[in-house]
Amino acid sequence: MSIWKYQYFVDVINLRSFTEAGKKNFVSQTAISQQISKLEKNVGGKLINRGNGEVAPTELGKLVYKRAVEILELDEQLMREIKEIVCN
d(CA 44, CA 5): 15
Mean pLDDT across the chain: 94
Global pTM? Answer: 0.91
Q: How many residues does the chain have?
A: 88
d(CA 2, CA 52): 30
| pLDDT higher than threshold 90 for residue 1 | no
Q: Of 41, 37, 32, which is closest to residue 11 (Cα–Cα)? A: 32
Tens-digit pLDDT profile for residues 41-64: 999 999 999 887 789 999 999 999
> Is 39 in contact with 68 (CB distance < 8 Å)?
no
